[in-house]
Structure 1
Amino acid sequence: MKERILLHEDAELSEQDVREQVTKLSAADLVEHIRSPDEDPKECLVRHMIQTFIFKKKTLICNRKMDKLNDEYLLNIMGTFDKVYVSNFMKEWTVTPKDIRLFCERVKDIDFTLNFKEGEKNFKFDKAFESEELNATYYDYCWLDIDNLLAREHKMKCLELQNVTEQDVNSILTQ
């Protein structure tokens, strides 16, 4: 039997998890047994887990829009994760440059898998990610501005772009 801790109050188990008999635990139930100076029970729980268990690599998966008020606990501890995977694929949220900056300011290794609807295809992210590793996947629209990418990303050690055109590859190689 698997156990999954659901930190967001609206979180629900998927059908697959229900079939596999995953135990649903709320953060509030678990935090009652932890002594911590953190006021937010979710922040307390995540910090406790990170301190208690040994992880080779701590990865945060974000499949929804972050809200500074409701997700303050997550923004506070995001820097303790080694990698963040951000995706709006099959989700109902529109990505903005502000959303991308939210992650870039806090984590060194970021993996973006972004999907844009027809009306959103004028979006181009042309700011520096300020991350050491970047993995960007395109599906039907190139949302990352390739021009001067290497000049903007002076901290970057690893760049992985998936589903880019030959023209984009040539543009990057000639920078």
Structure 2
Amino acid sequence: MVHKAKYQTMFIAFRFEEDSRDDHIEMEIKDGENLKISLSDSNDTPERDPNAIDGRKLANLIDGPSCDYRKKISAHLLFILYSKCTNVYIDRNIEELGDIFQWDFRKTFDYVLLSAVGVLYISPGSLQSVLNALESKKFELDFKMDDSSYKYRGTLNNCEILNVRDSIQWLEIDNFLEKNPKMKILSLQDLPGEQINNLLKQWINGKVVDMETWYLLRNDGYSDNVIFDGIVTTKTKLT
């Protein structure tokens, strides 16, 4: 019973900052009181937040098979903590999946943010690595991609909410709802009207059953002739 006991916390967040020396885990331990555990590149010794626990020293108190202290701490915390919300925030380019150490033992999260305070540029390979490695109920993806030919054709496992801003051309729309049948909320910026038409037809054909809301945004608006092409519509009596 003791071995299986869980300590409840409101949230636990893994934060990968623009500067890897500022990486940390944050969790709420009391109402309004958060705890930080510093994580940094194993070969770097940053000036640590004076209010944060030193991750290396903490790892020395934990039994675990991993030689990477970050993996050891993360695995231990996710084992002993019961959290209502487990989030991941990525504020820099992740060129190799090995940089995101905790995916080895925890794959499903409540919320994943791939963004930055400034403009985040990301390569197709890096994006594919992150999306293939993660399962999350909500993805918020705010970045720029210069490669206009790349399409992500994978499945966002168990995703219910998808919010895409800045670059949208990487998202493959064909069979999107069939591959992601749990989708409830879509927020897509600057999606071409023809692709909205494609999504509407997928929805009409019953590829998802729990869809609640679409936010389809573009500064210069959309042509209803394009969006509803080939879709039977009727005039409404609503005023």
Using the size of structure 1 for normalisation, the TM-score is 0.71
Among 105, 108, 128, which residue is 2:154 paired with? 128
- In 2, Cα distance between the equivalents of 1:79 and 1:59? 11
SS at match of 1:138: strand
Among 174, 178, 186, which residue is 1:147 paired with? 174
- CA drift at 1:38: 2.7
Using the TM superposition, name which of 162-171 and 36-45 deviates more.
162-171
Structure 1 residues 127 and 89: CA distance shift in structure 2, 3 A: farther
Q: Which residue of 1 aligns with 2:37?
A: 5
Q: Which residue of 2 aligns with 1:58?
A: 86
SS at match of 2:84: coil
- CA drift at 1:70: 4.1
SS at match of 1:39: coil
**What letter matches 1:147 in structure 2?**
D
- In 2, Cα distance between the equivalents of 1:123 and 1:88? 24
**What letter matches 1:151 in structure 2?**
E
- In 2, Cα distance between the equivalents of 1:111 and 1:165? 17
Among 26, 30, 33, which residue is 2:54 paired with? 26
Among 127, 143, 148, which residue is 1:115 paired with? 143
Q: How many residues are treated as equivalent by the alignment?
A: 165
What is the aligned-residue RMSD (CA, Å)?
3.3
Structure 1 residues 89 and 174: CA distance shift in structure 2, 3 A: farther
Return the structure number with greater strand share. 2
Q: Structure 2 unaligned segments of length 5 or more: list them.
A: 1-32, 203-239
**What letter matches 1:128 in structure 2?**
G
**Greater C-alpha radius of gyration:** 2
Return the structure number with greater helix share. 1
- In 1, Cα distance between the equivalents of 2:185 and 2:192? 16
Q: Structure 1 unaligned segments of length 5 or more: list them.
A: none
**What letter matches 2:176 in structure 1?**
L
Using the TM superposition, name which of 47-56 and 61-70 deviates more.
61-70
Give the percent of matched residue pairs that are identical in Structure 1 and Structure 2: 15
